[in-house]
Amino acid sequence: MTQTAADTLDRIPPQNLEAEKSVLGCILLDSQVCDDAFDILRPEDFYSNANAKLFGKMLQMHSDGMKVDPVLLVERLGTAGDLEAIGGHAYLVEVAQSVAAPSHASHYAAIVREKATLRSVLAAAYQATSDVYSCNDAPDAILERCEASLSNIRLGSEKREPVTLQAATLKAATTIDAITQGQAAGVLTGLYDFDIDQGGLFPGELIILAARPGIGKTSFAMQVAYNVAQHRGLVYFASLEMSDEDLSVRLACSISGVSSRLVRTGRLTEQDNSKLSQAMNEQSNAALEIHDQPELTVASIRRQLRKLKKRGLVLAVIDYLQLIEPEDHKIPREQQVAKMTKSLKRTSRECNVPILCLCQLNRMADGEEQPMLSHLRESGAIEQDADVVLFLAPHKPTEAAGNNASLIVAKNRNGETGPIPLDWHPGRTRFTCHNRYSPHAEFSGHDGDDNDF
């Protein structure tokens, strides 16, 4: 007979009390195995409250530089009033006598951790069941929370062992050799000066592109996304503000050179229509997928990236951070944004793709000659979690510098910072390089040989 979810509620969750006692016994018999156990387990991994308390005290003693032995443990438990709560001296004796070979500590710890992971999966399933029966949320919201919980369980159970400097150096040498032979380590944007300066957008990194409204963030991001989709591979574009149709029209204007104002007012000539038709035929072949949904969460974005990664995803773009739906509406806004950026950073590493996330600057940036990191809106965690922070800002042309826009690299964990001069063409909703390095000014990768990848 098939079991239902309700049938499982009265069953004992996965656990192995003997393995729990054996881990504790190994530590009591030989403090040399402490690091093996403490590297694998946390107090909450224990099913028995008594065992969790014991392990917590042992961990605290070890962290304080104390030797973990029965006498000192009894003193620590007695001082805290926890001795009787764990079963008194009799239980400590039982624990100490539960093993004969302390060297098996890591084996017992792995069993305890495995059962804890299964209980976490069960807890996520129970929470989903409770959410379903409460009928307080939409099915999509329940599904996204469940997926986020399961993802956190998996990420939390993945532990990478330290590697030798020799192994890391061999990997670095391989990467450098590939770059020397012309293989770009980063995803080239098509913005020639930026690619020369920074090497492109790197897999596993969270890149924030911030500006005040109306400066051209979406246009910039769409040009990068289209250029990468033409030359490098599949691109995901999460659009929380503009429809997929609007983005397509804007891109066609950018490619064709036809003013977006003429499109909106319907004052198109036959030549304009021909250029737009040719641009649309061209852009329809790009490997770019637009996710047009106004209430996306980080969990739903992560779900899409995992699916697309199997098809060769090379870049993800999110327009924009402040419009992402928080998973917990009860916590303060600053904490909501901090959770989003932390999760996006973790997602970029998990999927090993660069995530270019657009962001609003606060009003303090108005009137300033150059935006600052403190102008990032709503949370200092944006600056903390981002690997790269880019500012898009207007620039007043002068005789010395004729550009009318700048891309400012304000933060870069692995490279240099500073401004990159650009030119903004509002009619075409398009940016071009200001010829600092290249003889070709066009932004896209198909307007000159030097810009081709």
Name the residues annotated as catalytic.
241
> In 135-157, which residue ranges form alpha helices assigned H by DSSP?
139-157
CA angle, corner 12, sides to 10 and 13, nearest 5?
A: 115
For 330, half-sphere exposure in the C-beta direction (CA atoms, 13 angstrom radius) is 0
Cα 316 from Cα 235, distance rounded (Å): 6
- Pair 416, 197: CB distance under 8 Å: yes
Tokens of 337: 């944004």
Question: Tokens 């729990």, residue?
Answer: 20
User: In b/e form, how buried is each residue of 365-397, taking b as 16+ CB within 10 angstroms?
Assistant: beeeeebebebbbbbebbbebbbbbbbbbebee
The 8-class DSSP code of residue 378 comes to S
- Pair 333, 378: CB distance under 8 Å: yes
Question: Tokens 């509002």, residue?
Answer: 426
Cα 33 from Cα 22, distance rounded (Å): 12
- Pair 319, 238: CB distance under 8 Å: yes
H-run or E-run covering 423: strand 418-425
Verify cis geometry, omega within 30 degrees of 0, for the bond prior to 320.
yes
Tokens of 274: 């021909």
- Pair 152, 343: CB distance under 8 Å: no
Tokens of 320: 């924009």
Cα 82 from Cα 342, distance rounded (Å): 36
Q: Give the three-state DSSP class for 405.
A: strand
Question: Tokens 């550009």, residue?
Answer: 403
- Pair 36, 128: CB distance under 8 Å: no
Q: Which long-range contacts (CB under 8 A, 24 or more apart) does 157-166 make?
A: 157/113, 157/117, 159/39, 159/40
- Alpha carbon 295 to chain centroid, angstroms: 18
| Residue count of the chain | 453
